[in-house]
Structure 1
């Protein structure tokens, strides 16, 4: 691994020095942290992380190498990595490459050998902010200028950068259920969950028209996860409203949850530092049971607005750490959504029942 120097500069002027990891270069993005102990490659390739510098709280990153089967999209989506130990030698026999070779091939800039505990505490106290990593330029004044030019995540539309360029299908065409997926940055494991439940899936680009989607003759409609500010995605909100008018079973995950809320007049807001990890406790208010969930979001649905619209929206799930809204159901419709990731890759499988709930609704409607 390179012993070259690297620097991390935060928007508030805080500086950390460490060693270069991955490609030598410079990168900017919003800094955030993930508390997951496993699944780093799935996290790196999750489109929801597009435009973000990721701090991993687990001390060792790279120790089990990388493999194509562990990816959640066609490329690394994080803007850069910040970690304690960037471990190049790996011990997993299924691995195909070291993390250093993987990052060099994918063009990912990172920094290691920094105090990630101190960085996480700083983000928790000060909130999410932009940052810059460089292993080629150590002029702080110049880095500050580059950082000042980086766009803020608040108000940033990013789904159009990660969505599929062309619609495509997955599964058996004669499967009993047809699901249309509006791809705002979907993870592969979401699609696998549909295939495992006898669904034929067609994935549509984020800005597809409702006419294109309905030409597939879907039995159910799904809005995926993805990056960026839902408040900057009026085009997706209009599509979600048109989907609701079709009155078919409808399901949204993460960004899809926020878009569904906006479709019925519930605004979203930028969180202080977001939820990212695979250990977030959520209570299902319908069953009274709690589940450990995988999460990755920096925006949330307004609880105050929901309180004023209880005739339209029912809250189905709440976060047990901070009482934020984690799930809703639209009254009078077969439409629901959750803020977290029931496909859980990486993460626990407590919430996989939500896919069954969606497919059951499709099956019941067809009868």
Structure 2
């Protein structure tokens, strides 16, 4: 997590849960949206007036994609659309990217853009979705979520290089190992537009500038980099942020090797290690995420970590198939003992 906007590599896995957009074109520039998750509500806008800082509400994720495609030269007119999704919102599971990507595929089909026919075209659609979220929604996210939503293959993790946008599909045959991913929705509120996410991105950019590199991906001597950053006014905080990013990029490589060699115990170890880094150095975890991971591991999970931008949302645990119910029960019990809202659970890859 948090390597994508630092020029790093990342290794996301797509969930089987889907978002659907049914779209019909209009002969004007109006956009009208409905959602099964907001029954009775009609969201409206005029594409001619869509611009950064001018759109509010969930419809920004939809019209932002149309705007971004138009900025790249596509001819996109108004449309009516209905949205429904099985991806929980506010759970740190990329529900916003799912809406953007479903919209992009619908517009590609209706407008005859022809981009969804190969990986290069899907990468262009993913870029438009990222631009929509950054410039229209106003969330300074990286491009990992959109890439895995559009470019991943079933039964594989997606190794994404965010510098050149190249991908490699890494086999993820959990069934062969008798394992499964258990997604734990902590029900703790999660939002990326409240400033904390942006503060961490800004800290990384300040660090890169102080180190004379374009991105933290270029840091090869972590010790030397941390020493150099000691001159900054907020040195200790920036050092922790940099330590997470550099070690997280290393963990991506190590975890990829572990998956390719079938060393699932090592995979679990790197999940635990990554969560500790996100908790202690990047400081994007919370009480609920920490408890979910701790309880899952204590109940037998091979490893667990928060997923998504953080500050709430979900954790993911690598669990033996036969122990799925027991681990879920243990997490539920731990939340009850702590007086927290009962968590939800999803079956991942």
Shared topology, TM-score over 0.5? no
Q: More strand per residue: 1 or 2?
A: 1
TM-score, scaled to structure 1: 0.28
